[in-house]
Each structure stands twice: as structure tokens, then as C-alpha cells.
Structure 1
Amino acid sequence: MARKYLVRTFGCQMNEHDSERIAGVLEADGLEATTEVSEADVVVLNTCCIRENADNKLYGTLGHLKSEKDRRPELEIVVGGCLAQKDREVVQQRAPYVDVVMGTHNVGRVSELLEAARRDGPTMEILEATAAADHEAFPSALPAKREQGWAAWVTIQFGCDNSCAFCIVPAVRGPEISRPFGDVLDEVRRVAADGVTEVTLLGQNVDSYGRDLTLRVRGEHDGAPAGTPSHEFVVGEAWLTEREAMCASGRARPLFADLLRAVGSVPGIRRVRFTSPHPKDMRAETIAAMAHTAAVCEHLHLPMQSGSNEVLAAMHRGYTAERYLRVVHDARIGIDDLALTTDVIVGFPGETEADFEATLEVCAEAQFDSAYTFIYSSRPGTEAAEMTAAFVDHAVSVNRMERLRAVIERSAVRANKARIGRVDEVVVTGPSRRDPSMITGLTRHNKRIHLPAPAGVRPRPGTYVSALVTEARMTSLVGEIVDIGDSPVHRTRIPVSAG
């Protein structure tokens, strides 16, 4: 009987994508997936460290697993991800029964590390972020076990060169390193051949993707003939053509707009999404690429964090509220029927009532379709964590959060109501959790929509349908199917163990 594994993910899309790779590696090693801890031979907890509740969730889960480990000593427990990268010794101290602690750059070695733990006892393997570029920065060759056969995440960069005062990412993911242009396209082509129709490009700051690649090519190859295959693989054809036209080394610039156009032209890819851009790096060519590449969805998630210039400066965000609103204006003018979402932090150290009022004003003007809103959470190792004298009282932050949500909800309802009477393209994601007679899907604007299943027909997940929007709710839409496209074709690559 095959051994079984369970992977639980705490965190963002980067963590989810890493979990897919971990699952793929374990299946290549002969394990089968399960959703029950009681059935699992291996439990992997893939962690986040952005907010305090991620710590609480991890240690709470580890507490429950201890009793299972006491009952079944052969159970193997792995803790990976950002929290493991940052607090490796703490994890081992608080949960000495964990078999493997591995960092963010050891995804491909999970089976190897488990074998080492069986042989030598509890194992910790943390590759420092600064060394990742020479190791396994982009484990694109690893097998992946995707939860949705029609959608895939594709990592285009890892790490971050920004210095946001509240963020721990640079410490755990390392400096910003872009994946070669051709490598990204090769993975997109592979997943498209497997039946994937929607890809989401992942990076900590996708706007700046490729700047380091063009710097490298310019620096290493000044005076060398442009257009060689190796150059094109690293930076793409468009930049090389531009460089040749300039009869010079070519300006070092981001390649994200070029990448959007290239990914959007891969046969079989119907939708392209990305997360997350940085407002200070949002360029006109990216807006143009979104507008003119049919596969790129009309949805922009643009993290604002605050509408106060003083708070933005304290956060080291690199833009003002006025600049942020100019980007919003340019995006709405340039991209027809754009949906705009954001992130907002309430109660950042030193935030005054006037600062918060400024945030409300910017949110009201931006007219977001939705927002991820958070009360500031201190993360050890960040600059903001040292601003203890300026911490905002929790009760004040809670009150501000309620007021912020009221503003966001008004614009969300307004945006959803504006879609009533329109026919939207919807990809079916599965049955409704609350009502089995309904199916659920996502529009190109990343809005969830609930649809009555046609009599005798239940479209499979990944099927594209046309739906008339008939009702608007605060966080979703309701509609009726007017046309059903072809059923999806998902091909599953059988992973082969290297052993």
C-alpha cells in the first residue's frame, strides 16, 4: 500500500505554488495525497511569516500534530516556507518532534531531507536567500500537483529589493532575482500543453521583472553581437530588437510588459493574471500591454497600503497618494472596463486620525472593487517592529478598520451593480459550497459569480461559459448561463522518481 502525504499551506500564492511543487516531488517519490491527518504518513506545513496569526496557526497545528505523533511515532512532520526560513531554531525548540525544518529554497529536496531524518534524526536545512540564485531559485523542472487542472501559477521572480518597513519578505526570500524570459515561456507552454488555460505570474514586484536580466546582458555583452539564442532566452526578443535599433548596449529596463505580451500569445492560454505589482514601478508600457493583449485579464491588484503621504514615507513605499491616484487614473483610461483591487494596512506605527482620514479619501476616490484590509501586525526583524513608542492602540485600529471596510464595501457594491445586465466570460470553478444546485465561477475581473446549473448539464471545472449578470452582492455576483463552451481537456503528467 502506498504511503500518503498531506500538505497544508499558510500564506500567499507563493506559498501555494511552493506547496504544489512539494506535492509533486512527494508523488514522484511514490506517495499519494490524502486530506486526513489520521491517514497521512507525511504531513508538510508550508508556512508564511507576514502576519502574527500565521505563527499562531502554525504552532496551533503543530500542537494538534504532537498527539498524533505520540500515537503514531512513524508519522513524519515537515515544516517549510518563510517562517521556517526565518525562525528555524525557534521551530525546533518549540516543536522538537518535527522531523524536517526546511527553508524557502529547499522545495525540491523534501524527499531527500525526509530520508536524512529517518537515517540521522531531526534535520534542518536552510539555504540562505543570498545563495539561492546559485542553487534552486526556480525549480521549474520539479513536478507539480495542481489543485485546479485548468489554472497554474508560474513564478517569474523571487526575492525583493524594496525596503518596506513592515515587510519581512526580503529577509526570507532574499534579493530580487528574475527568471530568464525563455524559461518562463517554456513553463507556460508546458502547462498549456497539459490543458491549463489560465496562468498567474507570481513575483514580489512583477513590475520590475527583468531589470536585472537586461543589466546582466548589457554589462556582460557590450559590443558583442546581439540576437544570439542565449541572449534571447535570457531577455526575450523584444529587448534585443530594441537594443539593435539603438545601435548601442540598450537601456536596462524591466521586461514585464514584454512578458505579458509573450505569455498572452502562447496557444491555449486564454487568461493571464499577475500578482503583485508595485505602484512606484507601474509603467505606461505595462498598462498598454494589459490593454492590447487579449488574454490579459482586466483586473489590476495594486497594493496601496495607506493614503497618507506621511505614513507612506514611513513605510518606505516610494510613492505618494497623488502618484498612486495618477497610476489608477492612467490604468482606468488605458484599460477598458478595469477592475481594481488593493491592500490596505490600518494602524501602522504613528498613524494619526488625519492620516487615516487621508486613507479613506483615497479609497473613496480610487473606487476599489474590493480590498484586502489588515490591522498592522508587528513582525520581528522589520524596521516597523522597532517603532514601539508609535504603536497605535488596538481598539483604535479596530475602529478604523470598521470605517475603512464601510468605504470599501460601498465601492464594491457599486462596481458589482454596474455589471448587472452584462454578459461576462466565466470559468467554472466547481459546485457552490452552500447550494449544490448552483455552480460557481470566476469572471475575467476576478469576481466570483454563482450560476444555476442548467437542467441535465453540469459543466466541469475549467469550462468557459457566457453568463448574464442578474444580481449584485457585496462580494459576488449572481447570473444565468447563456452559452457553454467546450469542456476542458486536462492532461496529467505522471511524475517519475529520480530513484
Structure 2
Amino acid sequence: MMTPAERGMALAEEPDGPRGKGLYYVRTLGCQMNVHDSERIAGVLEAQGYRPASLEQARALDLDLLVLNTCAVRENASKRMYGTIGKWARLKQANPQAQIAVGGCMAQKDRERIARRAPWVDAVFGTKNIGDLPGLLDRARGQHRPQVQVSDRLSAFPADLPAVRGSKSSAWVAISVGCNNTCTFCIVPQVRGRERDRPLGDVLAEVERCVAAGAKEVTLLGQNVNSYGYSMGQRDAFSRLLRACGGVEGLERVRFTSPHPAAFTDEVIAAMAETPNVMHQLHMPLQSGSDRILRAMRRSYRSERFLSILDKVRRAMPDAQISTDVIVGFPGESEEDFQATMDLMGRARFSSAFIFEYSPRPGTPAAAMEQVPKPVVQERFDRLLALQERITQGNLDSFVGRRAEVMIAQRQGRRDGMTHRVTGRERGGVLVHVGVPEGQPVPEVGDLVACTITGAGKHYLTADPDPSQGQAYALSH
């Protein structure tokens, strides 16, 4: 490994060499929108001559630039941010010429605090300033002090920036940014701003570019993805977008996340059911089964309205895989309120659920409300998790013996090297580890495999089909 001095000389003398303007690594915390933003960060950096570090170089901290794309939704995300940039300070001690940048929602919210608490950070940039990052790094290098640039207004959609996609077969496509809701627990409107929608033609053009570059699956992204078009006065725009994606040649699968119950219309359900490449997968946050708590959260629906949507989806698409988010221990939650959530979860029979203990976010109305004692929250969390785990396992067990179409996402997962399997997801989004029968072709990333499900793990399925027993294994490219 080069010394810091040798590395600095190499970058100065050979900007187009193996390290380009510098080797970079981006670490992402938080939601799918952040993952997509990190693809834009990588695209902007590579357009300016930076080169991506290999996994080995990142592990060895043989780097010239580290970028942390942060989340502000939960308290532990803040702790993880400061913990990570604290560890990264050692890189600066070993190589003073290396640079550290912090972006994302925490940077948007706590811009000055980050610069004060971590003066070794070279650049702090907001969710609307991804394109400014290379210039901030150049100024920090020349002025020898941290640079902060955080805009409160969006001047251009992130989709206008170059991107380095994390997958060749699957792509994220943001159709809107920001949020117009006022949920009392959520910081997103403060850090992402009000909702702005991209023109439908622009979205479709990006989808077509992704497919032309090899993507077979696209996930449409928005903070409230199904309210797409509302800001433009087009309340049917999302259903029209889904149907339009059905006409994109070569696009095998379309998913979207996350919809809001208040904007989940019959037209959207019909578009899902009637467009062959739109997957019957739905992740719709419930947050609470108590109407009293939903009012306190300022969620603009009630429990029966939520359940009626699920009933309509399942009537139109009996195979739909429906997942959700739930917050346990929201301020003021009584045992009766919690039991209402337990009852609704039992009725809803979600395929899976992300269950969170409430954590106050400074600056949100809920942070000033009377908090539920931590031991009570933990006990309720454990009860709800146990219920959902039983429901999830029953759903997974129901797949055994059925045929599924799996799109391969990776040739080797964490344990697939030992089991000689490949990994992907079936049409409803469930993770499947597929064994390749002897003498059969091994699928590549992006291939579709029709196979018989032979087992169910805790949060995944396995398919080890035996064609001699009539079990299916068929590969299509």
C-alpha cells in the first residue's frame, strides 16, 4: 500500500491513472431513496474523475474519499452517523490528504452541528446538493476547512444527475421527491421538503434508458409514491404511469414503494391487477391499528379504511404479498391501543412487517408528547413481533410445493457458496435460494427461473427441485 505522501504525488501526477482523481467509497444509511441518492453521488463523482474503490480497498481503508449518506428517521440512525464518522477520523490521521463527506437527511437537518462535532469532515451537503459535492471537496482541499452547502429548495431533480447503478438487472427510478403530509413522528418533510413530481414522460424516458442498459426490473420510488401527480393536478397519474410501464418492451417487473393509504385508489389496484409486468407486491405502512393513535399521528385514514384496501387488493390479486410498517409505543399509546394493533395485525395477515419501537426525533410534534416507558415499549414490541413471526412463517410455508418465478439477483449469497445455490426474488418479493439440479444450466444475474419451492426458512424460501420427481426447473434469459 502507498504511503500518504506517495498517494498524494500519484494523484497529482497521474489524474487519469488507476486512482483517477481519487478512490471513493459511499456508505448508505436508511431507506431506498437514500440508496438511489447514493447511486447519484457515485455518478457525480465518477463524472469528475473519481474511481470506485474495490471491496478489498474499502475494507483496508485504502481510500482517498469516504462519503456517508445519512438517515434522520430514527434515533439510532443519528448515533450510527456519528459513530461512523468518528471511526473514519482514523483514516485522516493515517492519511491527512484523504477527505470525508457527509450528505443525506442528517446533513440537511444538522448541517452546522456536524461541522462543529466532527471538524475532520471536509464537506457537508444536503439532499438537494448532490451535484455540488465535487466542488465542495475541491474548495475544502484548497481552503483547508470544512465546506457546508445545504439548500432548502430543490432546483433540479436528482434524476438529472448521472448515476452509477448498484445493479445491472434492477434499477431504482425516483418519480417524486419530498412529502406533503404532516405526520407528528416524521422528520422527512423537514429534510426532503414538499412533494414535487417529475413529468410522466421524463419518468418513462428514464425507465426506458434503464431497460436499454440491461435492467429487467424497475422500482418506482417516492415518499408517498401513489400520490404522484397530485401536485400537478393529475390524481390518476400514478395508475397511468403503472399502465405505461406495461408497454416498455423488455421490462419484466415493475415494483413501487412506498404508497400511502389515503391515496390508494381503486384505479391503482386495477392498474396493478391488469398490467402483467406490475408485481403483486405491496408495502403499505399501517403505523398503528388504533384509530386514536392514528389521529395523534396525523395519519389521514382509520383502521377500517386500511383493511378495506387490503380486501380490495386481495380480491383483485389473490396472490398479493402485502407488507407494512408499524410503530410500537407511540406517545400516549395505552394497552387498549396496542391491543387494537395486535387485533388488526391478526386480521390483516401481512406477509411481513417492519416493526419499530418509537424513538423521538427532535423537531417533531410527537417528541414533545408524553412518552411511553421504555420497558413497556419493549414488552409490546416483543409481543407484536412474536405474532407477526408466526403469520410470516405460515405465509412462507404455504409456498412449499408451488411453482415460483424467481429473478436472480446474485450468483452467490452469504451461504450460497456452501449450498451451491443462487439467490433471487419471486414475483411477490420473497427471497428465494435456488439450487441448480445436476446437468442444468446455472442462471446469471437477471435471468428468470421457474422452479418448485421445496422449503421455507425463517425469512426466505428454498428451491432445490428434482426434475426426476416432476419438480420444475426452467431457465429463461
TM-score by length of 2: 0.91
What is the match of residue 269 of structure 2? 287
2:401 is the alignment partner of 1:421: yes
* Alignment partner of 2:413 out of 418, 432, 437: 432
Deviation at 1:24, TM superposition (A): 1.2
The within-5 A match list for 1:53-452 is 53-120=76-143, 121-128=145-152, 131-132=153-154, 135-136=155-156, 138-214=157-233, 252-387=234-369, 390-430=370-410, 431-436=412-417, 437-452=420-435
Equivalent residue of 1:371, what SS?
A: strand
Give the conservation status (yes or no) of the 8 Å contact 2:41–2:131.
yes
Distance verdict in 2 for CA 1:169–1:254, change over 3 Å: farther
Deviation at 1:473, TM superposition (A): 2.3
1:79-111 per-residue CA deviation (whole Å, 9 max, x = no partner) reads 000000000011011101100000000112221
What is the match of residue 485 of structure 1? 475
Equivalent residue of 2:127, what SS?
A: coil
Which shifted more, 21-30 or 165-174? 21-30
Q: Work out the CA distance in 2 between the residues paired with 1:486 and 1:443.
A: 14
Q: Work out the CA distance in 1 between the residues paired with 2:210 and 2:275.
A: 19
Gaps of at least 5 residues in structure 1 are 215-251, 488-499
Q: Work out the CA distance in 2 between the residues paired with 1:424 and 1:43.
A: 41
Deviation at 1:140, TM superposition (A): 2.1
Equivalent residue of 2:405, what SS?
A: strand
Gaps of at least 5 residues in structure 2 are 1-17, 466-471
Q: Work out the CA distance in 2 between the residues paired with 1:82 and 1:360.
A: 32
Could you tell me which amino acid in structure 2 is paired with residue 345 of structure 1?
A: I
Which shifted more, 255-264 or 364-373? 255-264
Deviation at 1:64, TM superposition (A): 0.7
1:411-435 per-residue CA deviation (whole Å, 9 max, x = no partner) reads 1111112211211110112213123
Deviation at 1:280, TM superposition (A): 1.4
Deviation at 1:143, TM superposition (A): 1.9
Give the conservation status (yes or no) of the 8 Å contact 1:291–1:336.
no
Could you tell me which amino acid in structure 2 is paired with residue 105 of structure 1?
A: K
* Alignment partner of 2:454 out of 456, 459, 470: 470
Q: Work out the CA distance in 1 between the residues paired with 2:300 and 2:247.
A: 33
**What is the percent sequence identity of the aligned residues?**
47
TM-score by length of 1: 0.87
Higher relative contact order (CA 8 A, sep 6+): 1
The within-5 A match list for 1:37-52 is 38-52=61-75
Could you tell me which amino acid in structure 2 is paired with residue 328 of structure 1?
A: L
Q: Work out the CA distance in 2 between the residues paired with 1:119 and 1:484.
A: 58
Distance verdict in 2 for CA 1:458–1:32, change over 3 Å: farther
Equivalent residue of 2:33, what SS?
A: helix
Q: Work out the CA distance in 1 between the residues paired with 2:278 and 2:456.
A: 24
Which shifted more, 374-383 or 30-39? 30-39
Give the conservation status (yes or no) of the 8 Å contact 1:153–1:202.
yes
Equivalent residue of 2:464, what SS?
A: strand
Give the conservation status (yes or no) of the 8 Å contact 2:187–2:364.
yes
Q: Work out the CA distance in 2 between the residues paired with 1:81 and 1:406.
A: 34
- The runs of 4+ residues in structure 1 deviating greater than 4 Å are none
Deviation at 1:383, TM superposition (A): 0.7
Could you tell me which amino acid in structure 2 is paired with residue 327 of structure 1?
A: I
What is the match of residue 232 of structure 1? none
Which shifted more, 371-380 or 30-39? 30-39
1:237-290 per-residue CA deviation (whole Å, 9 max, x = no partner) reads xxxxxxxxxxxxxxx524110011111221111110000101111100000000
Could you tell me which amino acid in structure 2 is paired with residue 25 of structure 1?
A: V
Could you tell me which amino acid in structure 2 is paired with residue 173 of structure 1?
A: R
Q: Work out the CA distance in 2 between the residues paired with 1:480 and 1:91.
A: 50
Deviation at 1:317, TM superposition (A): 0.3
Give the conservation status (yes or no) of the 8 Å contact 2:169–2:409.
no
What is the match of residue 21 of structure 1? 40
1:317-336 per-residue CA deviation (whole Å, 9 max, x = no partner) reads 01111111111111111123
Q: Work out the CA distance in 2 between the residues paired with 1:24 and 1:435.
A: 31
Deviation at 1:379, TM superposition (A): 0.3
Give the conservation status (yes or no) of the 8 Å contact 2:37–2:158.
no
Q: How many residues align?
A: 443
Give the conservation status (yes or no) of the 8 Å contact 1:151–1:199.
yes
Deviation at 1:483, TM superposition (A): 3.5
Equivalent residue of 1:441, what SS?
A: strand
